[in-house]
Chain A
């Protein structure tokens, strides 16, 4: 089911200073797994709830396929919504939780009891919790509860699956496992799925496409590759991949830091001041070459297979973080030649302020 949000505006009366969503439009293609990524307060959960019909926008429309769903109630939209805290019904068994959506149907639409039970058990198999149907939610781990919540949402055969921070409350190992598992379920069931996350790794790894939100607006929509390699705005650049902004300017299409010309070209314009966003991987320590810049290493940390070094460079006030392989020996206090191999330049005033 192709889902479209058009020009959604939503203001909460409590924080009337700024709308939670400020004219957001989003296209989720049929069968697509779309990630809504953004910091807290960016409006991503609000957008998800508006698509579901749990919140009502001040203006704008929601389309499910060709049909305008804006005036439809939550029940009529038939979405599967998985809530952040799972919200399992604690007075019901796992099987009854999953069957809830079928049990509450009006008599003429409700499948027979045996059929409901069969469907619940089948979904329990799908989420790999076979045999736990008689347990209560309190007896399950966080990861298991998350799976039950998903099975319960799938039971109503939703047209769209919406997940709010699906792995937010789980520990790192369980998160990783569940990511792969959710991807697999998505491939098997083919539901059009939108999920909300503040975790960029999660968004990039899981999604077919990612929408980056900030301050109630969509900054960029694209595949994980596009988002990572061609960030459209300073915000996306700063939010994805731990980039550090460095004051710089361009002349004749080349980027300069201070008087030093880098080998980085920019299409942002022909001349002017701005900021160069560099990720820790974009700077390498190397042999001294004509275009090398001399940097002072301030601190070094071990980070898994790599080392992270904080360096100071001339003509930039703050520190810049760079990543090196653990075999490269760097010590605090060293002065080393560095080269900028990549970086994204934005002229001042371009895009939303990061």
Chain B
């Protein structure tokens, strides 16, 4: 190794002197590849992006409008489609606030306090990321289903969870749990407890300190987490598919509705609904970029981006 380094150090100045000035300039001083190689690498990346990301997105909108604008809107306004959109919004409207609450509480506990089992809790929070969504759905079926652990008791008390909205909400909450918590844990650990201690020493109660000091410090990271959480909540397929039962007009969310339409060869309608989800993704992406560029320094380290 040391030999190679010495050789390199000796050979290097000769190589540079041997080149024309212009040639040296176009060459990146750090990585050192020539313009041709750089061009090829960039081209590969661009083609890859076009083929696997941009093209599919374009196809969604193309297919959605393939039968005209009228067909597009009528596909969206069928009772089943409207119910699916409504259900998706409802589920997100319940799951996201719940996860804001859980996320805040978990992040607060983990970042501001020392207690036994803390690292276990952090691992637990990441569990939904590592468990397949289908398994997540199955867990709830095994717990709350008719043959499940709590099934008989629920039936006796006339409570419906599986194949009903509560099950869908539960599955969604499970799958989207880490988004808010992870964003906040990283940032709050970074910020430490200094500001809160100041607030307390100035006479603020714990709750006042949280409202007036902690919340302003984490608001952009919270919004960022909510954004990702919401996108996932509306787009979740696997876990929801297991617990929903696919009852049209009752327990079908948008992603499930897309699948049903597609399986019935109703391609235009499937893509019309899909285009709404794609639009949501695009809006999320734009907001995410805006947040990152404007408030990047108030978000946790870039290396933890998903």
Contact = CB atoms under 8 A, between A and B. Distances in A.
A89 B202 contact: no
A81 interface: yes
Interface in B75-129: none
A156 B202 contact: yes
Contact of B203 (A87, A89, A105): A105
Given A83-B194, A87-B194, A104-B208, A54 B201 contact: yes
Contacts of B200: 54, 73-75
Contacts, number: 57
Contacts of A273: none
Given A89-B213, A91-B217, A101 B197 contact: no
Interface residues of A, number: 23
Nearest to A13: B114
Interface residues of B, number: 16
Interface of B: 194-195, 197-205, 208, 212-213, 216-217
- Residue among A52, A74, A90 having the largest count of chain B Cβ atoms under 10 Å: A74
A83 B192 CA distance: 13
Contact of A80 (B197, B201, B205, B213): B201
A105 B203 CA distance: 7
A85 B191 CA distance: 12
Given A91-B216, A104-B208, A83 B202 contact: no
Given A89-B213, A91-B216, A104-B208, A54 B203 contact: no
7 contacts: A73-B200, A74-B197, A75-B203, A81-B201, A100-B204, A104-B199, A152-B202
A83 to B, nearest CB: 6
Contacts of A85: 194
Given A87-B194, A87-B195, 12 more contacts: A74-B200, A81-B197, A89-B212, A89-B216, A91-B217, A100-B202, A104-B202, A104-B205, A105-B203, A152-B198, A153-B202, A156-B203
A104 B194 contact: no
A11 to B, nearest CB: 14
Given A87-B194, A91-B217, A52 B199 contact: no
Contacts of A156: 202-203
A87 to B, nearest CB: 4
B197 A87 contact: yes
Contact of B198 (A78, A83, A91): A83
